[in-house]
Structure 1
Amino acid sequence: MERRTLRVRVRTAALEADLSVPGAARGIVLFAHGSGSSRFSPRNRQVAERLNEAKLATMLVDLLTSDEEAIDDRTRELRFDIALLADRLVGLTDWLRVHEQTAGLRVGYFGASTGAGAALVAAAQRPDSVDAVVSRGGRPDLAGPALERVRAPTLLIVGGNDGPVIDMNWQALAALRGEKRLSIVPGATHLFEEPDALGAVSSLARDWFKSHLNQPRSAK
């Protein structure tokens, strides 16, 4: 396993990222964290470790700079700026396609909360570069009209006790036009803090990504 902390230039921002690439990696999953979270999210890191064990590379990234995070802590506005977050995911995806360690790997997105909306918008903008999307307790409804343009196979995971978010995900599922699935984890709430709930998320995500990122991609 090779692990590196990087600073990736995306448009006018330099973003901090943790890249983990296991030997003989089968694909790479880019994480889009949710409201008020960061690349240090213990929930996302637990999922990332399970993906690494399955020979999938991961990139956990702060989609906001430190200055922007300070602003967001006061205003809580940037975490809902789906266009900004999606644009940065697109820039990171383009970087992965040419970076020497990841250029030949298929790309997946793992989005949580508002990050799921941004991931789906980015997937719609890069249909030839994004091969799978998983949403955990996400707000896919925030992707709006972009949902109909998503071609990547998409798995929506929701907690069984997360009532309002379940409804939002059913509506988003209806709008998606490609391969899609909604999985409900019984007894789980929005943050999947219950025993074994996050383990179930990790297993579902692992199986989805292994199924759709298994084939190598020719580097451009």
Structure 2
Amino acid sequence: METLRSEKDPINTLVRIPVNGVELEGALVIPSSARGIVLFAHGSGSSRHSPRNNFVAETLRAAGIGTLLMDLLTKQEDAIYQTRFDIDLLTWRLERATQWLMEMPRAQWSPTDKPVAPSRTPVGRNPEQEPPAKAGDRVEGSLDIGYFGASTGAAAALNAAATFGSTIGAVVSRGGRPDLAMAALGSVQAPTLLIVGALDDVVIELNRKAYERLKPEKHLAIVPGATHLFEEPGTLQEVARLAAAWFRRHLGAPRAANRTVEPHGRARGAES
């Protein structure tokens, strides 16, 4: 019999989440006394091993926020161009991972060297045949949940946030395509931060249009000198800093009334 883990114990483990006949692999890391956990939704052609998302994840953990970096597609699926841009599929799988986190109190996660599956496996579904996930009661002891989405993964994150309503504590998009979730933006209740590079002209305009559709607390931060992948010196560090401040403000804290604000330490060129 496995020993249940204390809520104050750090967690670092590989998880496998069964979804409709496939297993989604993820790296779950939760620091001691974490105030929340952030699920990463990667963009097309990326994976949970992405150095950019791993850098952001390390910054979040240093700020006391847990992370789950996972692959929403299998290697075979990711090799297919159409599948990489299947926003409905990405959304549905992110919802399944979210349900898994909601259903498992922190004490039930396994020790670091053993991959685990959920104690109550989410039921797989074809998005065209069954209703979407619903916001439900969270298990006592579970952590506040946030989303960090990059590129097309940002659209999946916003769609899932709309589905789960106030269950999701915050959303951050890095160089994202929120325009691919335009129909859902008006239903997003989570405070949302859109981060875009100042030299990413097309994506800036797409984010500005999406920003107007968002109703809750929201902010558009434009990082000077950054292109789409934030490869320029210091730009990814700025993304990580802004994201950590946003999640620290909103995870593990009382929910505020809808308003438009800036994240702590606003980026130069940021818009409200």
TM-score normalised by the chain length of structure 2:
0.76
Write the mapping of 1:66-77 to structure 2, written as runs, cut at 5 A.
66-69=75-78, 73=79, 75-77=80-82
C-alpha distance in structure 2 between counterparts of 1:183 and 1:99, whole Å: 34
Give the corresponding residue for 1:26: 35
Find the partner of 1:140 among 167, 170, 178.
178
Is the contact made by 1:93 and 1:129 (CA closer than 8 Å) also made in structure 2? no
Displacement of 1:182 in angstroms is 0.0
Q: Does 1:57 align with 2:66?
A: yes
1:206 aligns with 2:206: no
DSSP-derived class of the 1:77 partner: helix
Give the CA deviation at 1:11: 3.8
Instruction: From the CA coordinates, give the structure whose radius of gyration is larger.
Output: 2
Q: Give 2:120's aligned residue.
A: none
What 5-or-longer segments of structure 2 have no aligned partner? Answer: 1-9, 108-140, 255-272
Deviations 1:108-158 (A, max 9, x none): 000000000110001001113211000000000000210111110000000
| Contact 1:11 1:91 (8 Å CA) reproduced | no
Q: Which residue of 2 aligns with 1:43?
A: 52
Counterpart secondary structure, 2:194: strand
Residues 17 and 188 (structure 1), Cα distance of their counterparts in 2 relative to 1, 3 Å cut: same
Residues 215, 104 of structure 1: alpha-carbon distance in 2 compared, 3 angstrom cutoff: farther
**Among the aligned pairs, what percent are the same residue?**
55
User: 2: distance between equivalents of 1:53 and 1:211?
Assistant: 15
Q: Secondary structure at the match of 2:46?
A: coil
> Residue 158 of structure 2 contacts residue 185 of structure 2 at CA under 8 Å; is this kept in 1?
yes
Q: Which runs of 4+ in 1 moved over 6 A?
A: none
TM-score by length of 1: 0.93
**CA drift at 1:47:** 0.2
Q: How many residues align?
A: 213
Cα distance in 1, alignment partners of residues 142 and 248 from structure 2: 16
- How many Å apart are 1:68 and its aligned residue? 1.6
Larger proportion of helix: 1
Q: Quick check: 1:193 aligned with 2:239?
A: no
The two structures, once aligned, show a CA RMSD in angstroms of: 1.5
Match of 1:83 in 2: 88
Between the two structures, name the one with larger relative contact order (CA 8 Å, sep ≥ 6): 1
SS at match of 1:126: helix
Deviates more, 1:12-21 or 1:102-111: 102-111
